[in-house]
Structure 1
């Protein structure tokens, strides 16, 4: 299947993407040529000039922009970062799904699961589109500087798609050129170190080609900061499970430091405001280094809405207020990880829900606080639809952008990488304390003994950083990834089973226990989809599946 993905495959229109001319229209044009010239020879000698092929496309700046938009497009697929990779394919100790005892929303994974198959497919379609753009970029009649910028974007996105695949599926077929024929041979799984080596190679080349974030002025485009921050994340991943290449901690520190010393980024003084601005479609390029763009309510011609805030958001039965499903609930572990007076808790974990006063999706609602003991009943609060500006609101689709990389993550990555490479330092401690001060509503650059961590040894600082990542980055699609690279995903989820059995209300615990208990040693990697194995005899299944 990898060798045969069609470059034009698209389940929904891509932003700004070109469309292939309908074959029926082309046939009519050819018939007109036959009648007009009345010559078989003329007909045989005439080449259609109105069809779009790789050889006739990729010629103008508009062509390149549209092709690049098509590469970006797969990021927002519902099975990738439209929902799956921060939601129903990302089960961890952050959340449980309340009302789905079976199916993909209950952590019931297998190699035949449609949503998992489509996640794999969407990622490889993104790679194929990037390969097509890279293969034909040199033929464009545009300045070299423009070509280089587009090339950097495409290289980053190809590398990122491979990173997501490797992170979730392990070794995968590595394909670096576009498909020229459906008869091309199938590709076996490439050893994981080779996949990561290519990811790093692409990212490093992209770093020298893309522009600074201040040039773009918004976080939806890949900037130099985004490349450097993502390289820090990739190197941290390589240093942890399963590669355990501890030399990469030094590289992770280097690339996190590049972002820090660039002077282009800073923490937003308000943790809450980071997410208000995401909901309101307001860019904050100092804090939000890369965000996945969604737009509108999916009720017009252009349909680029997402599920941020509806699938994972505050429970609300009213469309006009901002509909939120009662699927995703927080865990007591998230709630309890916050210290007293940490303002992040009541923003990350919604302290209220909207209670209907009548029936129907436009019945009035009342904002009602949860009691102190109602913990597992609460919703995720980071993505609040009440700040949406698009009208009318839709029950499912929102314009809320999803945070892919934030500056606070970079500061915490620096501290972690340095601590693992050489031990704790005053600099790494200060970066963690900046994040903490902001969480408590304090000035980030002013030392505050009431909230600052003291100097700690390596093991204690390791645990402090991990706890801080949990507080700061919950529900941003990174928690499971962290637990896996730390080598504690399975044990953490087994502990959650005990927690649910012991402390969770009986009317909620059944679904949560089943979801967490399905995480076993095989769950560190997804199964290779059956659709791939069925067409590619060189691809073997992951252990346990």
Structure 2
């Protein structure tokens, strides 16, 4: 059976990995080619490269993305929505009622392996394409870094996964076997090291034409993060130091610098700024429609996080849109953050607006009165183009930003017995930017201080759940949500991936792997 590829300006995902061989990529038809006859030249290879990047921003048709799922599973958020049956995959991780047949794992597995599949297809074809060798070398480095990214997410989320480095035909997919997680990490390191070693992979890219593409700085940041999760603290600190440079100053090699104003990070127009390292791109020009929520290139967070039935009562009220009231903020987090200068840029206190008669909204399920401000949908950002406006908000999200790498390096230094003076300076740079009062807010470089600082700085960015697992604190911190030690540190392999395949469920979930 032949598979077909159709390309236009945008790319929409319709592959159901390991279950269908009908079509691989599909958009509005404007020329159709069999996969076997495609990737012949630079233009066709570039289309394939775009397709390999696309799953970075994968959002499932049930509104599940990595950031929504990991936030819902953390102590900082609840699934919210209209009731206990609203956003059921997110409810399942929010209250730890996960089972292999219900939870965010279907979308996260699909999105991750979709990325792997597309990378492997292009890597298998690119050497035969007619194109300049220097461009080919750059593309291959980008693809290897992307594959490392996808596998890093998959191994953290599921632990026991297949490791596929070449295209797997649909009729072979049912025989794929899992490997030890250590083998996956070896390959992740290898891919990133090879990407970094490629001289054609640039340190910087022109933002007008190439914003969001993999650079050496991104590859170093990813490798440093991977090392941190592997407890290779000396190696992690060394990689991250290359990214961070002198704390608080411009890294001229990669162009990174903390922004002066924390709140400006969350303006929808402030894309690919100097603090951004790896950024997930969204647009209001993708014409996303209800007929294929999964296909939209807009940011679904904007409509998901917005308060239900929100409306203003007085002039000057925030111009939030009315949305689904999902991924609400816990009272525990509000109590933690409310005296921190990052509070108002992080949390929207709808309860206070309602009590003051400034605005009104309908309560979410398990309502706390607190919502996510960082990614709140604004009427001023509403799309006026094609498609359904609710699905086409343009705000990007950060996968890695400089404040994150500062704190990761500090953590690696502390745990690896490194230079505590540098760790202290890294933490101070993040804190001084937050307080913005000209005073020195340096604190001791301890793991507990780093834990506190990461929670305040990176709230709602999808990092907290992974952090708690890495620190071994999830069982204690998430106990009130139903987290069970020895089980919920990973997600179950989706039930439908186990049916009629050789994949085996993890021991944590009653399997034998």
Question: Smaller-chain TM-score range?
Answer: 0.7 to 0.9
2:303 to 301, 306, 310: 310
The verdict on how the C-alpha distance between 1:80 and 1:163 changes in structure 2, with shifts beyond 3 A counting, is farther
Give yes or no for the alignment of 1:536 onto 2:501: yes
Q: Which residue of 2 aligns with 1:345?
A: 343
Quick one: distance in 1 between partners of 2:204 and 2:415?
29
Q: What per-residue deviation string (whole Å, max 9, x for no partner) do you get for residues 134-169 of structure 1?
A: 011111111111111111111111111111110000
* Secondary structure of 1:543's aligned partner: helix
Matched residues in 1 for 2:180 and 2:57: separation?
Answer: 28
Alignment correspondent of 1:213: 204
Unaligned runs of 5+ in 1: 22-50, 240-247, 357-364, 498-515
Distance 2:29 2:257 in 1: 38
Relative to structure 2, which stretch is displaced further, 82-91 or 66-75? 82-91
Task: After TM superposition, list the pairs within 5 Å mapping 1:196-207 onto structure 2.
Answer: 196-207=185-196
For 2:118, which of 129, 134, 140 is the aligned residue?
A: 129
CA gap of 1:85–1:72, structure 2 versus 1, over 3 A, is same
2:488 alignment partner, SS class? helix
Structure 1 partner of 2:152:
163
Does residue 480 of structure 1 match 2:465? Answer: yes
In structure 2, the CA distance between the partners of 1:53 and 1:472, relative to structure 1 (3 Å rule), is same
Match for 1:250 among 231, 234, 238? 234
1:206 deviation in Å?
A: 1.5
Per-residue CA distance 1:153-189 (angstroms, 9 max, x = gap): 1111111111111000002110100124624771221
Would you say the 8 A contact 2:474–2:483 is kept in 1? no
Q: Does 1:412 align with 2:407?
A: yes
Looking at structure 2, the residues matched to 235 and 468 of structure 1 have their Cα atoms a distance apart, in angstroms, of 21
Greater Rg by CA: 1
The answer to whether structure 1 residue 237 and structure 2 residue 229 are counterparts is yes
Cα distance change of structure 1 residues 414 and 127 upon mapping to structure 2, 3 Å threshold: same
- Listed one character per residue, the Cα deviations across residues 188-234 of structure 1 (whole Å, up to 9, x for unaligned) are 21111111000111111112332123445665222211111111111
Give the corresponding residue for 2:66.
Answer: 85
Q: Does 1:104 align with 2:76?
A: no
The answer to whether the Cα contact below 8 Å between 2:346 and 2:374 also exists between their aligned partners in 1 is yes
Report the secondary structure of 2:78's partner residue: strand
Residues 60 and 216 of structure 1, relative CA distance in 2, 3 Å threshold = farther
Q: What are the superposed Cα offsets for residues 244-283 of structure 1, whole Å, 9 maximum, x if unpaired?
A: xxxx11111011111123432111000000111xx12x33
Cα 1:330/1:540, change in 2 over 3 Å: closer
- Residue 327 of structure 2 is matched in structure 1 by 328
CA RMSD of aligned residues (A): 3.2
CA separation of 1:314 and 1:407: change in aligned 2, threshold 3 A: farther
Matches within 5 A, 1:110-189: 110-113=99-102, 115-180=104-169, 182-183=171-172, 186-189=175-178
- Find the residue that maps to 2:422 and give its secondary structure: helix
- Aligned equivalent of 2:11: none
* Distance of 2:183 and 2:350 partners within structure 1: 48
Structure 1 or 2: more strand by fraction: 2
Name the CA shift for 1:429/1:538 in 2 (closer, same or farther; >3 Å).
Answer: same
Q: Measured at CA, do residues 96 and 132 of structure 1 come closer, stay the same or move farther in structure 2, by a change above 3 Å?
A: same
Instruction: State yes or no: 1:432 paired with 2:427.
Output: yes
Q: Secondary structure at the match of 2:467?
A: helix
Matched residue count: 458
Q: C-alpha separation between the residues in 1 aligned to 2:52 and 2:43?
A: 14
Measure the CA separation in 2 of the matches of 1:96 and 1:185: 36
Deviation per residue, 1:316-349 (Å, 9 max, x gap): 6369853332222212332233373x32111111
Aligned to 1:512: none
Is this contact kept in 2: 1:7–1:129, CA < 8 A? no
Residue of structure 2 aligned with 1:489, choices 474, 492, 510: 474
Q: What residue number does 1:378 align with?
A: 370
User: Structure 1 CA distance, aligned partners of 2:508 and 2:367?
Assistant: 37
SS at match of 1:138: helix
8 Å CA contact 1:310–1:324 kept in 2: the answer is yes
Match of 2:217 in 1: 225
Alpha-carbon shift at residue 434 of structure 1 (Å): 0.7
Residue in structure 1 matching 2:273, options 271, 285, 289: 285
Q: CA deviation at 1:442?
A: 3.5
Please give the residue correspondences for 1:396-475 in structure 2 after superposition, counting only pairs within 5 Å. Answer: 396-423=391-418, 425-442=420-437, 448-449=439-440, 451-453=441-443, 455=444, 461-475=446-460
> If the length of structure 1 is used for normalisation, what is the TM-score?
0.76
2:24 pairs with 1:9: yes
- C-alpha contact 2:279 2:396 (8 A) present in aligned 1: yes
The residue aligned with 1:72 is: 53
Deviates more, 1:207-216 or 1:467-476: 207-216
For the structure 1 residues 5 and 230, does the alpha-carbon distance in structure 2 shift closer, same or farther, using more than 3 Å as the test? Answer: farther
Q: Assess, with a 3 A threshold, how the Cα gap between structure 1 residues 76 and 189 changes in structure 2: closer, same or farther.
A: same
Conserved? CA contact 2:174–2:501, under 8 Å: no
3-state DSSP class of the match of 1:524? Answer: coil
Q: 1:169 to 1:215 in 2, by over 3 A?
A: same
Structure 2: 5+ residue runs without aligned partners? 1-15, 246-250, 290-294, 313-318
